[in-house]
Structure 1
Amino acid sequence: MTDQPELAFAEAGEAAELVAFLARQLRWDRTAAARLKVEGEVLAIFTRPARFEVLAVRPVRLNEPAGLDRTVSVGELVEALDEERGAVRLPGAVTGPSWAGVLPPRGGWRPLAELPHRTVWESATAVVAEFRERTEALAPDERTRATLDALAEEIWSRTLGATGLPLRAVHAAHALGLLRSAEPVRVLERGGWLRMRTALGSTAVRVRGVGGLGVTPV
């Protein structure tokens, strides 16, 4: 395998979808990194959008099986995506951030709930609207970083119904475009992790301890 292997996507338009997904990451952090893992015919792209304290996972089906584990610059990855050919020649590896060494477990997830898409979508838009309204209600001299951070923590630490999933995971999925499919949304649990899986990807968050973590050195 060369240092810049090329991966071809199984579905037309997937490269354009990935450009849009990764561009959302870059809006928060121009220096963002992504960990790429290929097992068989599935490429899993792991990212951690700034401020959310949530891992996002975007799976992509490939034309043929491969094996690869690499952390790359999100900006370089976007530039390497060829929308016309539906492929990507992977950029070189970078030193990964600390989160890239501790990923959610690959299997063994226990289902907690299946929710209608509309319920989850409305929860996401409601917390975004509440944050905006409460921010705008503050006097200009009260809109300090500490005040806004405390407000965000209050709102996005709430849970999605009785699932225990922090709303920051729902907010992240909404912001990354993972709630665009109208299919039901599933909440799953494994050890100290909770995961929200949609038809387009997942968000995962550690909620207690370190039990059940899948730790892989970068």
Structure 2
Amino acid sequence: MTNTVTLASEHDSADLQTYLERAERLGAEHVWLVGVGTALAAYVAVLTPQGLLDIAPTVLGLRVFERVETGTLDMVVQVRAMLDRLAHDKITIPLPVGQAGIAWTGVAPPRTDWVPAGTLLEIELQLAAKAGIEEVAKANGLGTNIVTAVREEVWRRPLNVQNTEIPRTVPAGVAFAGFGLGFFVTGIAQVTTSGAWTRIATERGHILTK
């Protein structure tokens, strides 16, 4: 296992830094780095269940960057540690110590066999995210349990997928993740499914949920 990752350009480095900064602001503590060929996939968890009784959806952000190496890479590191290294090494980045036992990394989203399943308007996702953020903000100060319950209820709400042969929804948490990670502009997001996973793809990144 390599102890560094060499990005293909300063553009990739700047994009990775911005992505991780946004993820950190959303509360993501870890980034799962998966290298296959010259592609470096960086997964972050925006929403995850916090216990056996928690029915919140799992919502991950994903961006893919170009790297120089072609060897296999599969490790989870702290977002803050990765940002600290990016601040000093823009291209060849010493990898932080790997983290074990991070629950959301237990089952990887599939890489293949994604089937088209409709579309979503990015502007509608933005509006859903802003409305949800305002609703959660109103609960602040009412106690941890109430805030947690409101967050769970808001981000579980279904959003209807368009242009699909069968009725299909995704949790509003995908809007929160995509908006916070800067994935939305004014285009059309493509929805695909593979097994239990649903992927919402835009020009700027991917949101995965199950």
Instruction: Give the TM-score range, shorter chain.
Output: 0.7 to 0.9
8 Å contact 1:117–1:182 — kept in the other structure? yes
Amino acid at match of 1:149: T
Contact 2:5 2:67 in 1 (8 A): no
Aligned to 1:19: 17
C-alpha contact 2:139 2:146 (8 A) present in aligned 1: no
Quick check: 1:104 aligned with 2:109? yes
Aligned to 2:31: 34
Opposite residue 96 of structure 2, the aligned amino acid is P
Q: Does residue 167 in structure 1 map to residue 164 in structure 2?
A: no
- Matched with 2:126 is 121
User: Cα offset for 1:29?
Assistant: 4.4
- Aligned-partner SS, 1:103: coil
Q: Determine which of 175, 178, 183 is the counterpart of 2:183.
A: 178
Using the TM superposition, give the Cα deviation of residue 175 of structure 1 relative to its aligned residue in structure 2, in angstroms.
Answer: 1.4
User: Whole-Å Cα distance in 2 between the matches of residues 4 and 88 of structure 1?
Assistant: 9
Normalising by structure 1, we get a TM-score of 0.77
Partners of 1:33 and 1:96 within 8 A in 2: no
TM-score, scaled relative to structure 2: 0.80
Q: Is the 8 A contact 1:28 1:50 kept in 2?
A: no
1:193·1:204 contact (CA, 8 Å) conserved in 2? yes
How many positions carry a matched residue from both structures?
Answer: 196
Q: Is the 8 A contact 1:47 1:57 kept in 2?
A: yes
Q: How far does the alpha carbon of each residue in 1:24-78 deviate from its partner, in whole angstroms, 9 at most, with x for none?
A: 3333548x22211111121001121356731221211224533211222222211
For the residue of structure 2 that corresponds to 1:13, the secondary structure is helix
TM-superposition CA deviations, 1:118-147 (whole Å, max 9, x none)? 222222222223333x437xxx6xx12222
User: Which amino acid is the alignment partner of residue 158 of structure 2?
Assistant: T
8 Å CA contact 2:157, 2:172 repeated in 1: yes
Q: Which residue of 1 aligns with 2:58?
A: 53
Moved over 4 A (4+): 82-85
Contact 1:110 1:188 in 2 (8 A): yes
Q: Which runs of 5+ in 2 are unaligned?
A: 49-56, 162-167
Alpha-carbon RMSD across the aligned residues, in angstroms, is 2.5
Structure 1 portions without partners, runs of 5+:
207-218
85 and 99 in structure 1: CA distance in 2 versus 1, 3 angstrom threshold: closer
Alignment of 1:84-99 (within 5 A): 85-99=90-104
Counterpart contact for 1:16–1:83, Cα < 8 Å? no
Mapped partners of 2:134, 2:26: distance in 1: 19
CA contact (8 A) 1:117 1:183 kept: yes
Letter of the structure 2 residue corresponding to residue 57 of structure 1: L
Q: Which residue of 2 aligns with 1:188?
A: 192
* 1:205 is the counterpart of 2:204: no
